Structures are given as C-alpha cells and as structure tokens.
Amino acid sequence: MNWKNNSRPAQHWKHLTFDNKDIVQCQLCPRTCLIPNDTFGFCGVRGSIDNVLHTFNFGKSVAATEENIETEAIFHYAPGARILSLGNIGCMMNCDFCQNWETSQVKFLDDKVVHSYSPDDIITLCKESGISIISWTYQDPVVWHEFVLETSKIARVNGIKTIYKSALYIQEAPLNELIDCIDIFSISLKSMSEKFYKKYTKADLLPILDRIVQIHQSTCHLEISQLLVTGLNDTQHDVQKTIDWVINTIGKNVPLHFVGFHPAYKFTDVSRTPLSTLLSAQKIAVNAGIRYCYLGNVFENNINNTHCLECGAVLVKRYGLNSRVTNINSDNTCTICGAKTPFKFPLLNKNKSYRNKQRSSNFVNEFEEISIYWKDSINSVHISLDHTRRITSFDTITFTVTRLNTKIDEILYFEHGMNRKIISRKDSHEIGIKIKYPKYKDIKIMKILDRAHFPVNIKYNYSTKRKQEYIDANK
C-alpha cells in the first residue's frame, strides 16, 4: 500500500501569493511551512495539491495495539486500564534521539508497516474488544490532526475516552479543537532550553510551554514527562529548570515523569540513562515540592507507587507498566484515612476482565513455543500478527503466556481485528515468559526497547550498531 496515493483537504492553512505565484501556508504547527504546489511540508504528510493543503495520512497508522494506560506516562487516570494505541506516520519535529524514527520520519518509512483505518473502524474495534480508552501515541499525533479530531469526537459520543500523547508543537487554534474532544493529555517536554530544542528537535520551546498552559487551564487531565538523554539534558541543572517551571506555572499536583532513554536514531553511541540519574531527578523533584514524581522505563520495586499525602498509605502499587489499586474506596478516598485521592476513575480497571463470547479458532492443530528472558534493556514485548491477515469477528487466535517464575498461565485472545498486544514483566522475581501459540508463520514476537517504542521491521539503519541492536531485539 502506498500511503501517498490517498489524500483529503486539510484544516488550518491559508492561501498566499508571492511574486505572482500561489503558495499554501500550513498553520497547524508553529513551523508554518510555506508549501509550493505539488510539494510537502516539513512533516512529510501535509502537502499542496492545486494550491489546497491536503493531509496524506488520514487513517494511516501503525498496527492498532492493545496496551495498558501506564505505557502512555499516565498514572493518575484509570490505573491499569486497557487502551487501544494507534500511531500516525510523519512528525512536525525531527528529534535526533527519536525513539520511533522509522515511522515518524517518512523518508525511512516502509509502506508494509502502514495500516489503513476509518474512524468507525477504531470505534468498532474498541467496542468489540471491550476497550474504553483510545491513545493517539508513538509518533506525534499533531500532524494527524484531522483523523484524530474526527475519531475523538465519535469516540466521545460512544462513551470512549481519548489520550493525546504529544510533544505539543501545535498552534493555539487547533489545540482548542482538541481540548473540546480529548480527555487526557500526556505531554513530552524535552527540555527547558531553547537552544536544546532548536539543535536537537528542530523546533522552538516557547510555543510548547504556552500550549501546556492552555491545556492546564482546561478541564482535561494533564501529565508531563521528560526524556533524560544521557549527556544531553540529564544534569541536575536541567532537571531543576523543568521542576521549577512545572511548580511555578502549572503547580505541584501535576504528575511529572522523568523517563529513561534508550539509544536510537542519531544517538546510537550513547548509553541508556542510568537508574541513578533518574532516581536523582526524582529526589530533586520531591525535595522541591512536586507531589507526584514518577520514573519511566524503569522496572524496579517501590519507586513508582502513589501514596496518600495525608497518611502515607500506598494507593496504587506499580512495577514497570503494571499497576494495582490497593487502598482506594469507591468514592475515590483513601481506605485508611478517608482523604481524597488524586486519581480520576481509579477503580475503572479493578477486578475487570473482558471476553465477548467464546469463539472457535481456525488455528489450533499445531502449536509452537518461544521463551523470552527479561534483562535490563528488555522487559516488555509486542505479540504481533501479520496485518495482511485480518481476523474476522468469527475467528479467534488464542495464546498462552506462562510466567516462568510462577508457572501461572494467562490467556490472550486475538480477535475482532486486534493483531498486536503488549506483554510486560510483572515483578522483580519474574525471569521471563513462555509463549505458546498456534503454528502460523506470520506471528512475530518483538521486543520493546522503550515504553514509547513501537518495534517494526526496518529497511534502513542509521548505523551498523543500530542494525545489530534491532537484529538482537527481534530474534
């Protein structure tokens, strides 16, 4: 499928004339690209046709994936909730350390990883799979504006919540449109340095800060995260500047996440963020008065729990991407002291499981097994089915996942067109998992290097080291 073959008129642009020549100016992000006819803007997915701005990625996404809400750096909204994650192609930025550069930068894009969905497809997939939250994630959804907006409005009518995970390089007017239909914003603030933004992201800082304030002034749920890239923005000075801005501008109660980096894109010769760096950032934040500071891409005990501010009781216990509500009443108060908790819909996922109705499988004659052993860099995997094989509403593929330390089996059902799901390490004692699945040549087990990482089979590599990393990760 060539995604460039289809387009539709876009929003947020104006027509200009220079030297008696027509030109289109995109006004979606602060870059305000001037786009001559038959060319694309910076993002590579918005271009001019007959002097009208078109979007070329409407409904174009990487595979819809079932994950849990913690993968989106959202800890205070429906802990443990199942979400449907979708990621566009293209981006309005070009971060040198991008975790998903194979799909955010369209010049490296392999058309084979691109799926096509309609807004109704997404809503149907949520309903049939019992998922009540959609996340616009992985690559930045700013340049997916028309599809995100249309689908999110339909989702709201159908009682489905939406997450917008973004670096937020967007103009005020389109963000206002999103605020009217998005429930949850997870914003990646890269640094508090304008020089850093210009050099390493090809964007500007101040418009992003203004847009964060714009969200904060709305009724939408907001959480902030910052990726700490080794040797780039991970000093105590860098961390303190972010903390000071958060406290002074949007307040101490907005959850702040410091996230570990894995080598990617143009930063392949840089080490992962040391745990000590992340723990130091968390300590600085807490000492400065941030009430809820969490660490991302860290699988350690008792560093991401949420405690009651009044009595200290553990309200939500977390390990990696897994969470468990422990001391919260149905009225959203602490079971120990009765104080109000900071969560929205904390019991949405408690004791909740989903299966529609038992369906038969056409792939049960022969089985294969694979064992995955966790290590410092790999603590989660995506189980993926070839997207050219669309599972109908009458087919089910069943996987058995065995936690090797407990010997407890979990059953995964692939049905209703869902063809990718996440499995993540649940505790520090777990050494790995064994996956038993029907023999089917297009099933892939892909290791996740970062909670925001969407693993793909790539045709381009930035370095020999990067190529070997992907070979090792996808064995």
Q: What is the mean pLDDT of residues 323-347?
A: 96
Same domain, 85 and 111: yes
Average pLDDT estimate for 215-232: 97
Question: Same structural domain for residues 9 and 64?
Answer: no
Q: Is 324 inside any structural domain?
A: no
Q: Say if residue 177 is in the same domain as residue 282.
A: yes
Contact at 8 Å (CB) between 46 and 223? Answer: no
- 396 and 272, same domain (yes or no): no
Amino acid at 53: L
CATH of the domain at 279: 3.20.20.70
Q: Same domain for 44 and 92?
A: no
Give 356's Cβ-side CA count (13 Å radius).
17
Q: Which of 55-69, 142-156, 408-422 has the lowest mean pLDDT?
A: 408-422
**Quick one: average pLDDT of 65-88?**
96
pLDDT confidence band for 366 (50 / 70 / 90): confident
The boundaries of the domain holding residue 48 are: 3-55
Residues 372, 273: one domain?
A: no
- Specify the pLDDT at position 384: 86
Q: Which is more confident, 353 or 401?
A: 401
| pLDDT given for residue 438 in this prediction | 81
Query: Per-residue confidence at 2, pLDDT binned at 50, 70, 90?
Result: low
Among 447, 418, 413, 421, smallest CA distance to 432 is for 447
User: Are the CB atoms for 341 and 333 separated by under 8 Å?
Assistant: yes
Lowest-pLDDT choice from 24-33, 303-312, 349-358, 404-413: 349-358
Buried b (16+ CB within 10 A) or exposed e, 446-463: bbbbbbbbbbbebeebbe
Q: How many domains does the chain have?
A: 3
455, pLDDT greater than 50: yes
Q: What is the pLDDT of residues 284-321, one digit of tens each?
A: 999 999 999 999 999 999 999 999 999 999 999 999 99
> Does 76 lie in the same domain as 47?
no
- pLDDT for 5 beyond 60: yes
421-433 mean pLDDT:
93
Mean pLDDT of the chain: 89
168 in the same domain as 128: yes
**pTM recorded for the entire structure:** 0.92
Nearest one of 171, 145, 27 to 88, comparing CA atoms: 145
Examine residue 318 and state whether it is found in any structural domain, yes or no. Answer: no
Last residue of a domain, one of 298, 322, 341: 298
For residue 4, what pLDDT band results from cuts at 50, 70 and 90?
low
Rg (CA), the chain: 22
Q: Are residues 171 and 270 in the same domain?
A: yes
320 within a domain of the structure (yes/no): no
Q: Are residues 28 and 79 in the same domain?
A: no
Model confidence at 21, pLDDT cuts 50, 70, 90, reads confident
Q: Do residues 14 and 108 both lie within one domain?
A: no
Query: pLDDT for 245-286, tens place per residue?
Result: 999 999 999 999 999 999 889 998 889 999 999 999 999 999
Q: Is residue 41's pLDDT more than 90? A: yes
Task: Specify if 239 maps to a domain.
Answer: yes
Is 266 in the same domain as 399? no
Q: Which of 298, 315, 346 is the last residue of a domain?
A: 298
Q: What is the pLDDT of residues 144-178, one digit of tens each?
A: 999 999 999 999 999 999 999 999 999 999 999 99
